[in-house]
Amino acid sequence: MENHPIENLMKSTMENIKNMIDVDTIIGNPVVANDNTTILPISKVSVGFASGGSEFSKDNKEKADEKYPFGGGSGAGVTVKPVAFLVVKKDSIRLLPVDQTNTYDRLVDSIPQILDILKDFSNKKSNNS
């Protein structure tokens, strides 16, 4: 049995979507800063897909076993939204969200950095004594 034209239309669209999206879209390529800090961008990917078609007859007198002309279409949409950055620096790993909506979130996210600063300060002070 021969494939229906809508199958070919859907297959072509899905192959093109597959070529556009890969794991590098979600977890981006790492960026290395001057101080050997590695930054990995993390994104949210949303995909929408629709396909449809119809068969038409030229007139009502055509026989039932003859093929009708086919009309169809398909479409897809892809959205990539950055959501966070994974920062790896020496022996610490931090997740920095892009959307911080309130002061409480920012304060909680900055606690590890504040502790690192205090730790470095106390180490410098003990080395100077």
Summarize pLDDT for 66-98 with one digit per residue, the tens.
566 777 787 777 788 888 889 998 888 888 888
Average pLDDT, the chain: 77
Whether residue 40 is found in the same domain as residue 92? yes
Cα–Cα distance, 24 to 28 (Å, whole number): 5
The answer to whether residues 65 and 119 belong to one domain is no
> How far apart (Å, rounded) are the C-alpha atoms in residues 75 and 73?
7
Domain hosting 66: range is 5-98
Domain identity same for 117 and 128: yes
The residue-averaged pLDDT of 96-107 equals 71
Does one domain contain both 72 and 112? no
One domain for residues 83 and 108:
no
In this structure, are 93 and 123 located in the same domain? no
If asked whether residues 94 and 123 sit together in one domain, one would say no
Which strand (E) or helix (H) includes residue 95?
strand 92-97
One domain for residues 14 and 36: yes
Check if the beta carbon of residue 45 is closer than 8 Å to that of residue 77: no
- pLDDT category at 39 given cuts 50, 70, 90 is very high
Q: What is the pLDDT of residue 8?
A: 78
Q: Quote the tokens at residue 10.
A: 């859907």
* Domain co-membership, 59 together with 109: no
Strand order through the sheet with 92-97: 31-32, 38-55, 70-89, 92-97
Same domain flag for 90 and 104: no
Rounded percentage of the chain residues whose pLDDT exceeds 70: 77
- Whether this prediction's pTM lies above 0.85 is answered by no
Cα atoms found within 13 Å of the Cα of residue 99, Cβ hemisphere only: 6
Residues 112 and 79 in one domain: no
Distance CA 25, CA 40 (A): 11
Look at the chain and report how many structural domains it folds into. 2
**Looking at residue 38, what is its pLDDT?**
92
pLDDT digits (tens, 9 = 90+) for 7-36: 777 788 778 777 776 666 778 888 898 888
Pair (54, 117) in one structural domain = no
